Homo-oligomer: A and B are copies of this chain.
C-alpha cells in the first residue's frame, strides 16, 4: 500500500517556471498529492463573469507531468472584493450588530441566497473547466467551515431563515414556547416575529441558543452541499470532502453526506500529551466507518527547529489509519496573514532542512509500507460524542462547552493509558461491533438511542455512563422525572438531582481536578482488590440504587452512604455509571480496569505516553516521551522499523517509533 503524502500549494502566487521547479522538487521528494485552489477566487474570477482558469490548467498539467495528484478546492471561504462591494448584505453580521469587513476570510453569510448562488456558480464553473484533468483525485469544499473570527451570522436573512426553521420544527408559537420553556423570566413569545437568533455564549437565554446552534449547523451543511452540487453538476462521481469543521457543526451530519473526512491537525509536542494528539485521528477515523481519514493540514516542522518531529508524527498518523497526509504548506506566501506560517521550503523557495526531512520520511514510509496492504486499526471500544447533545448540554454556557469536551477527552485518555484504543463515535452509530461503549455524558436520551443501548447491553455489551446523563429533554430542559430517562432498569439506578460542588472551577480540557486533602467530597470502596479513595469534581449527582451494586460510595456530607459508582448486570451485559462530571484519573483508571475485565477488553500496561496500535499484522509502538522508555511486552514478531524489540522487551529512545510485523516468520504479502 501507499500513503499519499504531500502539501497544500498556492500556484496563484507563482509563475509557471517556478511551478515547474516546485513540481520537480515534489516529485524528487516523493510528494504525490497537493491541495490547491482554496483561496484563489479573485484569480479565477477577477471580475464578475470574467473567468481565468489558464493558470490552473497549466498547474494541473505541470503537476501531472511530475506525477503529482491534486485535491482541488472551492475558493468560497474568500469572497472577492468586487462581490463584497456589490452585495454588502452578504457580509457576515456579528452578534454585536456590526457587519464584518473585507480583509479576512469567512467574512460572508453562509445562508445568504445571493452568496450561495455565487458559491455554487464558482464551484460549478471550476468543475466544468477542470473536469478533464485526470490527476484531480478529490475535491475539498471551502476551508474550515464555521471557523470565522466574526462568529456566526445574525443578518436579517439568517433571522428569517431561523424563524422558518423553527416553524418547521415546532409548528406553532405555543409549541415553541412549551418546548423552550419560555415561561421563565416571561420570555413567552406571542408571534414568530419576536423570535431572534441567540448568540453563542448568550447564557441568559440558553434554550434559544441551542436551536440557534442547530440552525447554524444545518446552514453550514447546506452551504457546503451547494458547493458539492456545483462540482457534481459536471463531475458526477467526484470524490468530495472538506477539512476540519468547527465544533459549531455536527461533524457526523456533514461528513456523512460527503466522501471523505479530512482534518487539519497540528501537533504541538511541547503543549500536548499523547492522548490529545491521537484524539482527532480516532475521531475522524470513525466518522465514515470503513473509510480512512485524511490529514488535510499538518505542521511541517513540529518542535522546530531544535528537533523536527515530522517523521514521528507521520508514523503516528499512519498508525491511526490516515491514507492521505497533506502538510501546510509548500512554500511561504510572500504576503498576507499567513506568510509567517511554517512551511516546507520557506519563502526563499529552496530545498533545505525541512524539505530533506520530508523526503527522507516519505521514502522510509514508502519502503516499509509497499510490502503491506493494511486494514484500518480495529478497536474493541468506543467513546460516544454527540454534537447535538454537546450543545444541549452547554447552550450558551461556555464553561459547560469546555466541560463536555473535557469529559469526552478524559474518557478517551483513560482508555488509551490502559492500552485500549478506541473510536470516537456518534450516538447514531452501530454499537454492536464494540465490546465496550463509554458514554461520558449524554444529557438527553432520544428514545431510539436508549432502545439501542438497552438491546446492546441485553445482548452482552458493556456500557459505562457518566455524569448528568438522561436528565434533560432535547430542548435543554430538565425532565422532572428521575433519570436516566428510559434506562433506569438497565443501569439499576435512579438519578434524583445533582449538587454543584462548593468550589466550582473552570477546567481546561484534560484537566479534571485531582484529589486533595480535606474539605471536598470523596468516594470510597474497593476496585480490583485495592482500597479506593476517589475525588469526583464539578457536579455530583444524587442517586439511589434500584438494584445496581454500589462499587464506590460517598463518605461524607449530605450524600454520605449513597452510591457514587454502580454496576448493574442487565441481560447478558453490564451497565456501569459514575455520578459526577469528572473523576480523578487514578480512580477512573481503576474503574476502567474493572470494567474492561467484565467486558473482556484487553488492557495493556504501557508506560506513560507510549502508544501501541495494530493494523493487521503490523503493530506500531511510539514513544511520545522526550526520554527513553523500556517495558516488557507480549508482542512478538520482527521489527521492520526501529530495532527496538529484544527478548520480549521494548526499549524506545525519545520520540522514536517501532513497527513490528507480528506474522513476520510466515510470508510477507504485497
Which residues from chain A sit less than 8 Å from chain B, CB to CB?
12-13, 39-43, 46-47, 75, 78-82, 84-85, 96-98, 101-105, 149, 180-191, 193-194, 196, 198, 202-208, 269-270, 301-308, 332-340, 342, 346-350, 352-354, 357, 471, 475-482, 496-503, 519-521, 540, 542, 556-559, 626
Chain B residues contacting A104 (CB-CB under 8 Å) are 185, 204-205
Chain A contact residues: over half helix, strand or loop, or mixed? loop
Question: Given the known A-B contacts A47-B190, A184-B333, are A306 and B496 also in contact in the complex, defined by CB atoms under 8 Å?
Answer: no
Contact indicator B46/A82 (Cβ below 8 Å): no
Residue of B nearest to A12 (CB): B183
Question: Given the known A-B contacts A43-B186, A75-B186, A352-B542, are A305 and B558 also in contact in the complex, defined by CB atoms under 8 Å?
Answer: yes
Chain B residues contacting A558 (CB-CB under 8 Å) are 301, 304-306, 308, 353-354, 357
Question: Given the known A-B contacts A104-B185, A335-B182, A353-B558, are A500 and B304 also in contact in the complex, defined by CB atoms under 8 Å?
Answer: yes
Contact indicator A480/B306 (Cβ below 8 Å): no
Residue of B nearest to A95 (CB): B101
**CA distance in complex: A353, B554 (Å):** 14
Contact indicator A102/B196 (Cβ below 8 Å): yes
Contact indicator B496/A348 (Cβ below 8 Å): yes
Chain B residues contacting A81 (CB-CB under 8 Å) are 186-190, 194
Contact indicator A190/B82 (Cβ below 8 Å): yes
Question: Given the known A-B contacts A96-B98, A187-B81, A335-B184, are A348 and B519 also in contact in the complex, defined by CB atoms under 8 Å?
Answer: no
Q: Closest CB-CB distance, A302 to chain B, in whole Å?
A: 8
Chain B residues contacting A105 (CB-CB under 8 Å) are 185, 204
Contact indicator A347/B188 (Cβ below 8 Å): no
Contact indicator A337/B542 (Cβ below 8 Å): no
Interface centre among A41, A46, A47, A480 (most CB of B within 10 A): A480
**CA distance in complex: A184, B341 (Å):** 13
Known A85-B194, A305-B502; 13 more pairs at CB < 8 Å: A79-B186, A85-B193, A96-B98, A183-B335, A187-B336, A205-B337, A302-B502, A305-B559, A334-B478, A334-B480, A342-B500, A348-B482, A354-B558
Contact indicator B502/A187 (Cβ below 8 Å): no
**CA distance in complex: A39, B181 (Å):** 13
Contact indicator B335/A180 (Cβ below 8 Å): yes
Residue of B nearest to A471 (CB): B347
Contact indicator B336/A305 (Cβ below 8 Å): no
**CA distance in complex: A558, B344 (Å):** 13
Q: Closest CB-CB distance, A588 to chain B, in whole Å?
A: 20
Of B191, B333, B342, which is within 8 A of A499 by CB? B342
Of B102, B193, B203, B481, which is within 8 A of A187 by CB? B102
Q: Closest CB-CB distance, A100 to chain B, in whole Å?
A: 11
Contact indicator A557/B308 (Cβ below 8 Å): yes
Chain B residues contacting A193 (CB-CB under 8 Å) are 85
Chain B residues contacting A41 (CB-CB under 8 Å) are 186
List 9 A–B pairs whose Cβ atoms lie within 8 Å, in order of A's numbering.
Answer: A80-B188, A82-B191, A181-B333, A181-B336, A305-B542, A305-B559, A306-B556, A347-B478, A350-B496
Contact indicator B304/A198 (Cβ below 8 Å): no
